[in-house]
Amino acid sequence: MKKLGLLLVLLLTGGMAAQAQLFTLGLKGGVSSSSVNVKNPKGTAMAFKEGDNITGFHAGAFARVSVAGFMVQPEAVFSTSGGKLEMPSGSGSAGTQVREVGFSHLDVPILLGYNFLSIARVYAGPVASILINSEFGEEKVSKYLDSADWGFQVGAGVDISRITLDARYERLTRTFSDGGNSFDMAGQQVMVSLGYKFIGK
C-alpha cells in the first residue's frame, strides 16, 4: 500500500509539473539595424564620429522553459552587425572619410522574462558574444579586438501557435588594441526576428 501511495503521489506531482512547465525548441532568423560609437581613445590622434547605421542579419536556435508565467530562454545565434564611422582623411587633408566597420559573431543570450495575455512576452538578460570576424573598411581587424565580451539584450515578443515574432535591443562594447593605440567600440543594434517552434507551442 505504501508503494502504491508513493506511486500515485509521483504520478500526480509529475502531471502537475508537466502542466505548469512548458518546454519550447525552435529556429529563428531576422534582420537588424546597428551602429558603433568610438569611446576612450588612447595613444591615437584619430578622432571618430558616429556615422550611419548598417543593416545586418541573424539566424540561430532557441530553447524556452516556462513555469507559472515566468520564462528562461537561452539562444545560440550567428549575427552580423557594425556601423559607419566618420574620420579625418589624413595626409594633411581637411576633409573626412566614412569607413564601415563590420562584425560577424556568435551570440549566446540568456534571457529571463514573463509571459502575459497568453501570447505576449517581455524579457531581458546578458549576452555573451564571440567574435568570428571583423573588418574596418577593407582591413581585417579581428586580431586587434576582444575575442569575446559581454553585453545585454532587452525586448518583447508574441507567440501565435508555433510562430514567434520578436523585437529587441542589444548593446555590447569591444576594445580595439593595436600596440599603444586603443579605443572602445560601443555597438548597439535593434533586431527583428521571426521564429518557428518545432517542439512546444
For residue range 14-30, what is the model confidence (pLDDT) as tens digits?
A: 444 444 358 999 999 99
CB atoms within 10 A of CB 112: 12
Q: Is residue 154 within 8 Å of 168, Cβ to Cβ? A: yes
Q: Which of 25-29, 63-67, 185-189 has the lowest mean pLDDT?
A: 185-189
Work out the average pLDDT over 45-62: 84
For the record, the C-alpha cell of 84 comes out as 559607419
Q: Is residue 35 within 8 Å of 171, Cβ to Cβ? A: no
Per residue in 89-113, pLDDT tens?
Answer: 665 556 777 888 899 999 999 999 9
Supply the pTM of this predicted model: 0.81
Res 96: pLDDT: 75
Element (H, E) at 19: helix 2-20
What's the rounded Cα separation, in Å, for the pair 83 and 171?
13
Measured in degrees and rounded to the nearest 5, phi and psi for residue 107 equal -105, 135
Q: Which domains does the chain have, with CATH numbers?
A: 22-199 (2.40.160.20)
List beta partners, residue 86.
49, 98
